[in-house]
Structure 1
């Protein structure tokens, strides 16, 4: 394992060291909770279809991109190049902003559906909002530590 990557050094891990270094360990949680958001939004009834479309786009895009990055890191495709550190930081900052906007819009849509929807539909949307904010927090933490790694590279 690369101790430099675990302590915020300037290198990206390769192989299964991705699952043992911080912030790259967060890929697993982003993958799991991002998938939950995707499932919840796909099954939830949202009063504003445009909001549901944006939240679905964000959750699917980030799920696929996170999976691709994680697989590429495991395969060692970055080869130790510093441009991948920049890509990692840029992606996680973008994903953080996307998820924050999606979370706020989903919360707004959920608040607007308090009246006129069933208890189950309302609580399904509340679950989607909660998990969306959890994923937002994960991406923000990953972005902060990726920026620290980028600055030290």
Structure 2
């Protein structure tokens, strides 16, 4: 299974909103600028996230989007399933060789376990830790 830009950019949106919880709505324009992404593409991704109840839209001059839930409960799996569909490395049928079928099921379950056990809070905490561990060199 290859996660497309839908899933990757969707996680970027959700991480940005999670990192700004309590600061008010965040515009897609600001997310696009900070991450050097297409605002138009992000607009296409935000609708399914909103329809799934993962984000809320705020109208008005200072409007934008906020995380609908707690960053500690929304998982990467929630986001990926909304934008990419079911998690499965291959399409298989009941007629497949049982040994191969078992392999694909174990791979699917392993991927799902990682995605479902990784919250937005985990992702933004990891990102913050990465920034703290980086060094700045001046010449």
TM-score, length basis structure 2:
0.31
More strand by share: 2
